[in-house]
Structure 1
Amino acid sequence: MPSLLAGALYLIHTPKGHTVSPTTPSTQPLHRRRLWSLAATATVAAMLLAGCAQADPAPSDDTPTAGGTLTYGRLASANDLDLHTQITANNAFAIDKIFESLVSFDESGQIIDWLAESHEISDDGLVYSFTLREGLKYSDGTDLQAADVKFSLERNIEKQGPIMLTAPIASIETDEEARTVVITLAEPYTPFLSELTGFAAGVLPSDFGGKSEEEFFQSPIGTGPWVVSEWDPSGDLTFVKNEHYWQEGKPLLDSLVYTFIADDNQLLQRLSAGQIDAIETVPAANAAEVDSNEATTLISGDSWAIEQIFFNTQKPEFADVHVRRAIAHALDLEGITQATTFGTARAATSLIPPSIAYSAADAGFELGYDVDAAKQELAESGYPDGFTATLLIASGNASRAQIAQIVQESLAQIGITIEIESIDLAAFRERFRAFDYDFMLNSGQSDSPDPNGLVTFQADPEGFSNSYWTHYTNDEVTALMHEGRTTPDGPEREQIYLDIQRILAEEVPYIPVYYSSTLHGTTSKVHGLEGLPNASIRFQDAWIEE
């Protein structure tokens, strides 16, 4: 299931490449690259896209130093730690430090065993058998039981939250002595293992360890490397190390502090001044600066995120497919990407990014920049003389503000007048979730490595988000979506997702603008951070030079 990023959603649920089995752990570390120095012009920025990459790891002769506190700057505070009711990244990337799942994924997006030391899938794709690691404990020192896994997964389904398991689970059987959890499906469901990698599939104690739900989630107990110490839901969150963590000797740090800083420029300023140790988001305009500064380090990599323009199809103008197609033709996505991401991103051409299997990024389905075609589409719409609409954005994001201005200028050329409304992040989320907007800038973000996640979140009219709050419905897409869930990985399943992306490109319920890179920043004294393609970071190997 996807998740909403800082201004967006932390989305939903596939393998890194078409030829790699989604159940095969990666045997190679994700290649770490360096951003080249970026020239000021957009042309040069585009040439530098291939140079956008991950920062070099700490030299091999550096000896990790245990202890200390790492202060991590974030654009939004964590205000709810219930893993089964949350979706936005501000909460998701705190929850995943506390709760862990049977399986997870590595830096390259390959599924790996986590709380389970091994797993098997029956030949008919119906039975998933997991063997838990020996000696697993919660942060309070109590033993994790196989029954806790059953309780947690059943609660996930019962809550019917934004990242609910959608696999047709027929039964969950446990054996404490054998440390096994056996999940049987009523029918094959190909994305199931991928769904189990998400933070919402995390394990918590049965019956909340004897506490009420409300009491438990004020100070939650999990198997993760971090334990909540102090928490202000409208401010900072302090973690301390889990002394009972199953990865021996980890985490290396004594504590981890999530500090709330509402503006990305302030994040950068405080990092550069050494007032904080790391930041969740480096503005694209400053990526080269962070990378070239001896006092800071850029950590960048491929992601499962897409910056997008979303249409509220309940609005008469945007219910008209010709209007949406006109807008898609009117926007120079290459130019927007170059101007706003400084070579750190790739212009989008499909819903599914190339870092996820079955992407149509190179299929040529996109409508393409063509002002004459845009005018022709608008002429064929119910609004040939244009109209006025409001573009909603979250404040505090310089890149989105710039995109909004470009959209405003571009649509003026075809007779559409755009007013930009910039509001704080909390209000922004309330507005679009209530369908109180015309169209908006936001991010789609898969939180697990299967294409079903993004498709479900952005094209399922009966899903939690109602097609990502666009109210878009297409019966053919819905049928293909269900077919893709039961079709085994391979050419037939690939064709299903290519067909879905083709239809979405033609009907344009949203416009993918660019495929984002993960851009995290640290001071040069920080080492061992592991960036993940869902934009989260693992801190258990992190350490700070004395």
Structure 2
Amino acid sequence: MTRDLDEEAPMRKGSLAWVTISALSLAACSGGASGSDAEEASDGGAAAADPTGGIVFMDSAPNPDLDPAGTLSDSSFSQAVLYALYDRILTFDGAGEIQEGLATEWSFVDDELRTFEFTLREGVTFHDGEALTAEVVKANFERTQELGDAAGATVRAAAGNIDSIEAADELTVRVHLQEPDGGFPFALATQFGMMLSPNSLDGSTGVDLEAVGTGPYELVSFTPNNTTTMERFEEFWGGTEGRPATFEVQYVTDDQTRLNALRSGQANVVLLTPRQVSEAEGTGLEVKVNETSSMWVMYENTSEALDDVRVRQALMHAIDRESISSALQFDTGQPSVQLAPPGHPAFLEDADDLYPYDPDKARDLLAEAGHPDGLDLEYVLLNTPEYVQITEVLQQQFAEVGITVDIVTLDISQAGQFMSGETGDLMLARWGGRADLLKTFEVVVGPEGTYAPGGVATPQLEEAIVEARGYAADDPERVNALQAVNRETVESAANIPVVTRSNIYAYNEGCFSGLDPYLASGSNDWRDVTIAPDC
């Protein structure tokens, strides 16, 4: 949709498109879901909903704390709890399109994309009874600004670009930006848009451990990296019909322990790894495979040997993505050489043609780069079972073209050693994606990117990122700009994607509805998930 941006532009109610996905492709994304489950999900599962029941979900990714603006909540894999406790100014639907949240109307009110205005929903209260007002939103934004480098990367960029904030009236907020940012609405639909109660902001409650938001669930208890227990918020502005009475998330790192807990009744829904799908289905459990924007990637430090594009391209050609997808992801993910997920308008249909699996080409490129006898690289391994499995395969594939990777094993909490440039040429990780693809490029390969310790790979990539910032989220030309960023990222091998990664859930047949693909994030939004009786 195209519209003029000027001082008289009407406030907008509706969605800003991230990606349009047909009903057919969404159905395909649901993987192992049965036909009956898909039908229930489409109408919210209201017929089967048990409002007295409770969800007990065992996840592999923990929540160290509950501050949405903090660095420990930056990963999308720990956001299921945050989505339940906190509302956002704007939200996403399952296909990643921006929708109403705490705001019902929103718009840029100038044609320079520097002034963004939104109107809050009337009558919203926090879990402690405090009212949501424009002044509260202003205080939340200012608090994130004051955090500075202590804020998570997801919120830091948005907060850092704000020049000033106005509470124009009780429910109207006007944000003035330092630099044009057509993607600012996307930030409001992520952690930056999660609002804390005024009592949290003034220190009356501890933000890290005592979450007080406006979400559909309120906090009962929280043990960091162990368990979060929540109960339905009866005053939730969106109503309570069909929503389970309780929602508990337990963090269990061992894959088999989670599956065994489901079988024994300790949990009623668990996260699976790809290799567990056949086992779960073989015992009569229902399996749901949800596509997300998440994928397995290797981040690069381009300040040393990887400064040469030919070395980076050699790494791209050395990877047999099809075999990794089949043998390790059990075809629950797709081979990929680009950061744009399949179905996104900026997805490049011809990208795979640039980097077929070709060991001979990889060797030739290394020789051209001055490494005819091979090359040694330092590889950071984050010590979890899935990371180890993929690393073992990659290590073997690299060795076949003469690249020796010296493994440096770190706990996942020590990943900052790579991001600071202190350790490693390469680091494999699960990229959780960003709702706005431009933010993915900025964080992963941008000139100040968290995961690009060696800086931007090429001047052309930096120029393309800067240009893309000048388009509004609903401007059709923004797609072309994102494609240009994507193409330069791929051609310069500024990052090394491997395969996409889905979220895979198991539960007893017919027990859950509404647990649908959530393509805007690497996590799922559980706020509208319902549970059937006797589950």
Structure 2 length normalisation: TM-score?
0.84
- What is the CA–CA distance in structure 2 between the aligned matches of 1:174 and 1:369, rounded to whole Å? 55
- What is the CA–CA distance in structure 2 between the aligned matches of 1:231 and 1:456, rounded to whole Å? 33
- What is the CA–CA distance in structure 1 between the aligned matches of 2:459 and 2:238, rounded to whole Å? 47
1:36-95 Cα shifts (integer Å, max 9, x gaps): 78xxxxxxxxxxxxx999962538684311123321112132112221123123543322
Structure 1 residues 345 and 212, CA gap change in structure 2 (3 angstroms): same
> What's the % identity of the aligned pairs?
24
Work out which of the residue numbers 263, 275, 289 in structure 2 matches 1:285: 275
Gaps of 5+ in 1: 1-19, 38-50
Gaps of 5+ in 2: 1-14
Work out which of the residue numbers 457, 463, 475 in structure 1 matches 2:443: 457
Q: Is the 8 A contact 1:350 1:366 kept in 2?
A: no
- What is the CA–CA distance in structure 1 between the aligned matches of 2:35 and 2:489, rounded to whole Å? 30
Local SS of the residue matching 2:185: helix
Q: Quote the residue 1:22 is aligned against.
A: 17
Mapping of 1:29-40 within 5 angstroms?
31-33=26-28
Structure 1 residues 53 and 217, CA gap change in structure 2 (3 angstroms): farther
Q: Quote the residue 1:493 is aligned against.
A: 478
Matched, 1:223 2:210: no
* Farther off after superposition, 535-544 or 127-136: 535-544
Work out which of the residue numbers 55, 58, 63 in structure 2 matches 1:70: 55
Matched, 1:200 2:192: yes
Cα deviation, residue 21, structure 1: 4.8
Local SS of the residue matching 1:204: coil
Q: Quote the residue 1:12 is aligned against.
A: none
Cα deviation, residue 104, structure 1: 0.6
1:173-229 Cα shifts (integer Å, max 9, x gaps): 22455x22233445642111112110232112346353257x243212110122222
Structure 1 residues 537 and 491, CA gap change in structure 2 (3 angstroms): closer
Work out which of the residue numbers 115, 118, 130 in structure 1 matches 2:102: 115
RMSD of equivalent CA atoms: 3.2
- What is the CA–CA distance in structure 2 between the aligned matches of 1:302 and 1:183, rounded to whole Å? 34
- What is the CA–CA distance in structure 2 between the aligned matches of 1:251 and 1:313, rounded to whole Å? 51
Q: Is the 8 A contact 1:25 1:111 kept in 2?
A: no
Cα deviation, residue 276, structure 1: 1.0
Work out which of the residue numbers 251, 260, 264 in structure 2 matches 1:260: 251
- What is the CA–CA distance in structure 2 between the aligned matches of 1:263 and 1:437, rounded to whole Å? 27
Q: Quote the residue 1:505 is aligned against.
A: 490
* Farther off after superposition, 107-116 or 499-508: 499-508
- What is the CA–CA distance in structure 2 between the aligned matches of 1:327 and 1:501, rounded to whole Å? 18
Matched, 1:210 2:202: yes
Work out which of the residue numbers 173, 183, 198 in structure 2 matches 1:181: 173
- What is the CA–CA distance in structure 2 between the aligned matches of 1:542 and 1:356, rounded to whole Å? 29
- What is the CA–CA distance in structure 1 between the aligned matches of 2:84 and 2:316, rounded to whole Å? 39
Matched, 1:388 2:379: no
1:472-493 Cα shifts (integer Å, max 9, x gaps): 4432211211110113455643
Q: Is the 8 A contact 2:398 2:404 kept in 1?
A: yes
Cα deviation, residue 526, structure 1: 3.1
1:361-392 Cα shifts (integer Å, max 9, x gaps): 44456322212111111112233212333433
- What is the CA–CA distance in structure 2 between the aligned matches of 1:126 and 1:311, rounded to whole Å? 33
Structure 1 residues 58 and 134, CA gap change in structure 2 (3 angstroms): same
Cα deviation, residue 417, structure 1: 2.5
Q: Is the 8 A contact 2:57 2:268 kept in 1?
A: yes
Q: Quote the residue 2:69 is aligned against.
A: 84
Local SS of the residue matching 1:341: coil
Q: Quote the residue 1:403 is aligned against.
A: 390
Local SS of the residue matching 1:462: coil
- What is the CA–CA distance in structure 2 between the aligned matches of 1:343 and 1:270, rounded to whole Å? 25
- What is the CA–CA distance in structure 2 between the aligned matches of 1:340 and 1:67, rounded to whole Å? 39
Local SS of the residue matching 1:538: coil
Mapping of 1:124-273 within 5 angstroms?
124=111, 125-160=113-148, 161=151, 162-163=153-154, 164-166=156-158, 168-177=161-170, 179-185=171-177, 188-206=180-198, 208=200, 210-211=202-203, 215-249=206-240, 252-273=243-264
1:310-358 Cα shifts (integer Å, max 9, x gaps): 22334x3333332222221111222222222122111103121124331
Cα deviation, residue 25, structure 1: 9.9
Local SS of the residue matching 1:56: helix
Q: Quote the residue 2:307 is aligned against.
A: 319
1:260-284 Cα shifts (integer Å, max 9, x gaps): 21122322232244321112x3211
Local SS of the residue matching 2:328: helix
Q: Is the 8 A contact 1:101 1:197 kept in 2?
A: yes
Local SS of the residue matching 2:392: helix
Local SS of the residue matching 1:452: helix
Q: Is the 8 A contact 1:81 1:91 kept in 2?
A: no
Q: Quote the residue 1:526 is aligned against.
A: 512
* Farther off after superposition, 217-226 or 316-325: 316-325
Cα deviation, residue 234, structure 1: 3.5
1:281-324 Cα shifts (integer Å, max 9, x gaps): 32112234445653x3222233111211222334x333333222
Give the letter aligned to residue 432 of structure 1: F
Give the letter aligned to residue 294 of structure 2: A
Q: Is the 8 A contact 2:77 2:432 kept in 1?
A: no
- What is the CA–CA distance in structure 1 between the aligned matches of 2:207 and 2:359, rounded to whole Å? 56
Local SS of the residue matching 1:96: helix
Q: How many residues align?
A: 504
Give the letter aligned to residue 118 of structure 1: E
- What is the CA–CA distance in structure 2 between the aligned matches of 1:127 and 1:34, rounded to whole Å? 37
Q: Quote the residue 1:477 is aligned against.
A: 461
Structure 1 residues 28 and 503, CA gap change in structure 2 (3 angstroms): closer
Cα deviation, residue 140, structure 1: 1.0
Give the letter aligned to residue 283 of structure 1: T
Q: Quote the residue 2:360 is aligned against.
A: 372
Work out which of the residue numbers 345, 348, 359 in structure 1 matches 2:347: 359
* Farther off after superposition, 357-366 or 52-61: 52-61
- What is the CA–CA distance in structure 2 between the aligned matches of 1:299 and 1:73, rounded to whole Å? 15
